Amino acid sequence: MEKSQKSILVIDVGGTHIKVMATGQKEPVKIDSGPKMTAKKMVKEVKDATKDWKYSCVSMGYPAPVIHGHPLSEPHNLGGGWVGFDFRKAFGHPVKIVNDAAMQALGIYKGGRMLFLGLGTGLGSAMIVDGVLEPMEVAHLPFKKGRTYEDYLGIRGLKRLGKKKWRRYVAEITEKLKNALEAEYVVLGGGNAKLLKKVPPGCILGDNASAFTGGFRLWDEPSEQAKWNRGHKPELPKQTN
């Protein structure tokens, strides 16, 4: 984990689990989520699970669009009450909220034009170009046969297609998006990235722990941001026939 002068609580909200980490802690805490997990319940369970932790500010990765630090719509795979909820008041500390894929992308970024795709319950996406973070929402765009990109690469697609076909679609869709967005490299993250037998050309596998690094980075001063923005782009695995 990267060091920070602030004491930060990072919350990675997912459709299956909510993972929580803080400055100075060695291991994250995992909380079951799902369709009954409302915003109010999330805050209570996180505060209960971290009652012995000390922190002065909060970062939260949210699995739906975020604008100006506020959830724009309710998450597809969780309960309600997120839009308009006063997280600062509920936690009693300043809170920064970004899309969950954006937070994970920020944690793994190493310079240049990077596309991030999160293969999890849904399909997260974000792009960073020369240090500028741009959350994206490609998940619900139409792909084919009346289905969306998320219908193919999210958990529903994995269950419907089976692992073998799902892997083929991961490679196909990744190539399409990489070319369309002129990304130099693609990071495949999310809990289901580990199911890939081989990494598609132009891609590297992400690490779920990068969501916490991204949460810490949200509070970095400009001088610290410059350091991770000047990172060396990763060496991509060579394509084999």
Q: Tell whether the model's pLDDT for residue 219 goes beyond 50.
A: yes
In DSSP notation, 135-178 reads EE--TTSEEETTEEHHHHHSHHHHHHH-HHHHHHHHHHHHHHHH
Q: For the chain, which domains are there?
A: 8-99 (3.30.420.40), 103-229 (3.30.420.40)
Q: What digits encode the pLDDT tens for the residues 167-202?
A: 999 999 999 999 999 999 999 998 899 999 999 999
Contact 135, 102 (CB under 8 A): yes
pLDDT at 237: 53
Kindly report, residue by residue over 57-112, the tens digit of the pLDDT: 999 999 888 988 999 999 988 999 999 999 999 999 999 999 998 999 999 998 88
The per-residue pLDDT for range 14-57, each reduced to its tens digit, is 888 999 999 999 999 999 999 999 999 999 999 999 999 999 99
pLDDT at 190: 86
Bridge partners of residue 96, in order along the sequence: 59
